[in-house]
Chain A
Amino acid sequence: MAKLNINGKLVDIDVDGSTPLLWVLREQLGLTGTKYSCGIGICGSCTVHINGAAVRSCIVPVSSLKVSEEITTIEGLSADGTHPLQQAWEELDVPQCGYCQPGMIMSAAALLKDNPDPSDVDIDANVTNICRCGTFNRVRRGIHLAVDINKRGKS
């Protein structure tokens, strides 16, 4: 039995060590906001934070994780759904089907942590999630709006 630190809580995990983090989140912990889509670390639907960095959880074997590492999922991004990105996404009606959006938001959130006012080029380089509905332009606007919301909050 391994322990993991997920959304600020220590949880016991009882699975084969080769199980990807994605499936531990979804099937052991009921955190189904993190999505399966490609399973090979490309599309980004399964993006979570490990120590603040965006990681494709579908290719991270749970045995590679230590209890000291802080794992954050979409459910833990904010206590009440009011992370600036969540506010911006709501304001701009960003999602269409919504399936890729938790991953999209987690990728954007990791970017903003490192780079509080990213350029479009920074966004292009860091948000490489696939969205088949085609929300990219609203995602971009959403990230810029979240920057504004952040600034307003701080002023």
Chain B
Amino acid sequence: MKKERVSISRREFLIRSTTVGAGFSLGLYLPLSSHAAMAATGSADEVSSSVPEVNAWVVIKPDDTVIIRIARSEMGQGTLTGLAQLVAEELECDWSKVTTEYPTPGQNLARDRVWRSFSTGGSQGIRGSHEYVRKGGAVAREMLIEAAAEAWGVPNDECSAAASVITHKPTGRTTTYGKVAAAAADLIPPLEVELKDPKDWKLIGKPVKRLDTVDKLTGKQVFGTDLQLPGMLNAAIKACPTFGGKLESFDAARVIKMPGVHKVVRVEDDAVAVVAGTWWQAKTALDALPINWDKGPNAGLNSDSIEQMLNEGLTAEEAFVGNRNGDASKALQGAAKTVEATYAYPYQNHATMEPMNATARWTRDRCEVWCPTQNGEAALEATAEAAGLPASQCDVYKIHLGGGFGRRGAFHDFVKQAVAIAKQMPGTPIKLLWTREEDMQHGHYHPITKAKMVGGLDDKGDLVSLHVRISGQSILASVNPNWMQDGVDMFTFQGLLPEGDHGISYTVPNLLVEHAMRNPPVPPGFWRGVNVNQNAIYMESFLDELAHAVGKDPLEFRRKLMANHPKSLAVLNAVAEKAGWDKPAAKGVHRGLAVCKAFASHVAACAEVSVDKSGSLKIHRIVAATDPGYAVNPQQIEAQVEGSFVFGLSALLYGECTIKDGSVEQQNFNSYPSMLMSEMPKVEVIVMPSGGFWGGIGEPTIAVAAPAVLNAIFAATGKRVRQFPLKNTELGSV
């Protein structure tokens, strides 16, 4: 890839405020006194309020501190640092002087969406904004150079910039960004800038440290739950545990005199909250509050009835087609051997470590919300809706998230509730915090599906036909119906599509992939990895079944289908080589493979496990490879790969929400466990960016952890597990 010349929309850079206000501070509209609220104001201190921005993305203080504006949310995935690297690369600033701040969604709205999308999901943070944030850095650099050149009375092109220092090349004169930033802010942005050739990148691709680590080590980092505002009260909430149920009545008189209680309020039509001085007081009173629920139409729903619904879809005549070539059913009839298997994947909760929470202050003419969110703009929309005010009279201050995983992006139920409570106590900031139990029961769950897989092999043992029938829940039908195509949820086919970000990694001569949409009344949501979690298990486990059915090596069997998928083949080969696939593993240790394309990245894994006679599983090691096209921060990519494996393996081992009487049965980490350090395998990560495209990081590798382990379990035990989580299956050989 060469240098890229990109033209700039005038609108994009001319719409700007003359100063960066303390609007970037979380506490603009409130007098701040408490320590936590001060900490929450982040970098937007009093000094920056008097410093003009160079452009929407870059503010430089007289002391050369560089403030880079970040529109997407940081929730642990490292996007904040990666995006800052992208801007700083083009800005040519001193990385050691870089800090960051979040613009608010209200400011984005007021400035004609100058920062574009705030949405942080689908592994889009970097790949969805790399171009315009680099442009932002490049434009700022050109303006800073021009300001210096003007001051010196020399042509721009005699000047260059590096590490926040501008040099007039003929004379060797220098100045710094901090000295010319104010003058640069008054200039008209250039019409065109050149983005660097990737081979000239100095900061992109470097394993620099995160910008947000230090405060996380001392307790200083403020999360939503930690926010303290003057005069703030705390709220605990219970919503009807039955999906679709309503709040019938509650007896406030029984708790109103309990310590610290200020008010007991109805919240929307399905919840009740206690507002008290402290959250513990609110929670204690809520536990004592007599509540009657109208359980509504789903009181009879249970896991068995949902399974029957899905079973019917496995053989139903009609289904949506996600991928078709050749004639799968005809080829199956002519196959020398056919193999059939049915898999099932359960509901799962995001279970972020920080439960849902939001703080709201409502008055008749303004509503403000402080919250951890993966999408500030969606949070603002939810705020305005619940407040009954135009969005221009609302704002949302984003706070670092204690985990997101998809729970806090498309859904702002917790924001609407906080506003609904605050609206009943005008002027008083209300911090709403869910209990873990509330969080477990009111999720937006990883959707439930089953898949019937039928494969046909010819007399040479090659795959000639594959029919995949998925039956189960659509996320989009419930969450984003307008993203569907003629009633089809193409997201359901992630990892199995003909091409694109989630294209299938194989060429099968006759292929049919279908979805019989069956939507139980349990709210589904985007869950880290979304539909590749189960689809990769279905596909990669079944390919393993097919290979074993004809006595072929699972690696060779796959390779034969991957001639047209060289990048996927490359990651598969990389893990096979590093794991030593062609050599025997240690005694008692067995290997399994998986490969997938997800969120535009090519990923593969080779797992090594052992299973003892009692059925105890030990995952020793996983070798993983990822080709994300460009790798912005390799050490953060390694962290994301390891982290995605914890999320994916926790799901494989334990993740299951079952439904009884219309409610989720699991209440807390005792009934919904997450894997621990003692269960964590060694992870070896191969980052192999091949260039030319931008793939995601946070999610893709989650696809391959579970199937690689499942295939290794088969190698170890001869047992093919097709129902999850594994805790429900006896792996013992006796």
Binding site for B on A (CB under 8 A): 15-16, 19-20, 23, 26-28, 30-40, 42-43, 45, 73-75, 77, 81, 86, 89-90, 93-102, 105, 123-125, 127-140
**Contacts A37-B355, A131-B353 supplied; 12 other A-B pairs, CB < 8 Å:** A30-B36, A32-B219, A42-B670, A89-B217, A96-B76, A97-B75, A97-B403, A98-B216, A99-B354, A124-B678, A136-B677, A140-B677
What are the residues of chain B within 8 A of A73 when measuring CB–CB?
219
Kindly specify which of B117-125, B456-464, B533-541, B643-651 makes contact with the partner chain: B643-651
- The answer to whether A32 touches B642 (Cβ under 8 A) is no
Given contacts A31-B219, A96-B77, contact A132 B670 (CB under 8 A): no
Nearest neighbor of B209 in chain A, beta-carbon distance: A93
B280 interface residue per 8 A CB criterion = yes
Identify the stretch in B179-187, B220-228, B266-274, B579-587 within 8 Å (CB) of chain A at 4 or more residues: B220-228
Chain A residues near B34 (CB-CB < 8 A)? 30
Residues of the B chain whose Cβ atoms lie less than 8 Å from the Cβ of A97: 75-76, 352-354, 400-404
Q: Is the CB of B646 within 8 A of A136?
A: yes
B252 interfacial by beta-carbon distance below 8 Å: no
Q: Using Cβ atoms and an 8 Å threshold, which residues of chain A touch B669?
A: 38, 40, 42-43, 130
When C-beta atoms are compared, the residue in chain A nearest to B352 turns out to be: A132
Q: Give the residue of B210, B217, B403, B435 whose beta carbon is less than 8 angstroms from that of A99.
A: B403
B457-498 near A? 1/0 per residue, CB < 8 Å: 000000000000000000000000000000000000000000
Quick one: closest A residue to B77, CB to CB? A96
In the assembled complex, 8 residue pairs joining A and B whose CB atoms fall closer than 8 Å, in A order, are A23-B279, A30-B35, A43-B353, A86-B218, A96-B643, A97-B354, A132-B647, A136-B677
Closest 5 CB pairs of A and B: A33-B219, A134-B646, A97-B76, A99-B402, A98-B216
* A148 to B644 alpha-carbon distance, docked (Å): 29
C-alpha spacing A81/B220, complex, angstroms:
10
B197-216: contact bitstring with A at CB < 8 Å (1 yes, 0 no)?
Answer: 00000000000011011111
Contact B400 A98 (CB under 8 A): yes
Counting chain A CB atoms within 10 Å of each CB, the highest count among B210, B234, B259, B404 belongs to B210
B303: A residues at CB distance < 8 A:
none
Are A23 and B644 in contact, with the CB atoms below 8 A? no
Within 8 Å CB of A105, what residues of B? 217
A59 to chain B, nearest CB (A): 12
Report yes or no: B280 in contact with A27, Cβ–Cβ below 8 A. Answer: yes
Q: Given the known A-B contacts A99-B354, A132-B353, A135-B639, are A35 and B225 also in contact in the complex, defined by CB atoms under 8 Å?
A: yes
Cross-chain contact of B219 among A74, A89, A128 (Cβ < 8 A): A74
State whether B223 touches A38 (Cβ < 8 A).
no
Asked if B43 is at the interface (CB within 8 A of a chain A CB), the reply is no
A55 to B35, CA, bound (A): 26
> Which residue in chain B gives the minimum CB-CB distance to A18?
B284
User: How far apart are the CA atoms of A114 and B280 in the complex, in Å?
Assistant: 33
The interface residues of chain A lying within 8 Å CB-to-CB of B639 are: 93, 96, 135, 138
Q: How far is the CA of A127 from the CA of B679 in the complex (A)?
A: 12
> What residues of chain A lie closer than 8 Å to B436, measured between beta carbons?
37-40
Q: Given A30-B35, A89-B213, A134-B643, A35 and B677 touching (CB < 8 A)?
A: no
- Interface positions, chain B 402-439, Cβ under 8 Å from A, are 402-405, 433, 435-436
Assess the B643–A90 pair: CB atoms within 8 A: no
Nearest-CB residue, chain B, relative to A140: B677
**B227 nearest in chain A by CB position:** A32
Q: How far is the CB of A91 from chain B (nearest CB, A)?
A: 9
Q: Which of A35, A127, A135, A136 contacts B402 (CB 8 A)?
A: A35
Residues of A within 8 A of B670 (CB): 40, 42
* Distance A98 CA – B75 CA, assembled complex (angstroms): 9
Contacts A74-B218, A137-B683; is A36 near B35 (CB within 8 Å)?
no
- Residues of A close to B433: CB separation below 8 A: 36
Assess the B677–A30 pair: CB atoms within 8 A: no
| Interface membership of chain B positions 228-241, coded 1 if the CB is closer than 8 angstroms to chain A and 0 otherwise | 10000010000000
Q: Give the residues from 636 to 664 in chain B that come closer than 8 angstroms, CB to CB, to chain A.
A: 636, 639, 642-647, 650
Check if B635 is an interface residue, CB within 8 A of chain A.
yes
Measured between C-beta atoms, what is the minimum distance from B228 to chain A in Å? 7
CB distance from B214 to the nearest CB of A (A): 6
Residues of the A chain whose Cβ atoms lie less than 8 Å from the Cβ of B329: none
Point out which of A34, A36, A94, A139 has the most chain B C-beta atoms below 10 A from its C-beta: A36
A133-B403 contact, Cβ under 8 Å, with A37-B355, A73-B219? yes
Are A90 and B279 touching (Cβ within 8 A)? no
- Smallest CB–CB gap between A14 and chain B, Å? 11
Task: Specify which chain A residues have a CB less than 8 angstroms from the CB of B214 in the assembled complex.
Answer: 81, 90
Minimum distance in angstroms from A10 CB to a CB of chain B: 20
Say whether, besides A36-B225, A93-B210, A128-B676, A137 and B354 are in contact (CB < 8 Å): no
Q: Known contacts A96-B639, A133-B403; is A125 also within 8 Å of B678 by CB?
A: yes
Residue B278, interface by CB 8 Å: yes
Q: Given the interface contacts A98-B216, A134-B645, does A23 sit within 8 Å of B280 by beta carbon?
A: yes
**Which residues of chain B have C-beta atoms less than 8 A from A132's C-beta?**
351-353, 403, 405, 646-647, 650, 674
Determine how close the nearest CB of chain B comes to the CB of A139; give it in whole angstroms.
Answer: 7
CA A140 to CA B683, docked complex, whole Å: 12
Q: Report the Cα distance A133→B147, complex, angstroms.
A: 44
B666 at the A interface (CB under 8 A): no
CB of B625 to closest CB in A, whole Å: 17
Across-interface contacts of A16 in B (CB, < 8 A): 259, 284
B682 A137 Cβ-Cβ under 8 A: yes
Q: How far is the CB of A101 from chain B (nearest CB, A)?
A: 5
Q: Quick check: B219 and A102 within 8 Å, CB to CB?
A: yes
A124 partner, pick from B77, B218, B352, B677, beta carbons under 8 A: B677
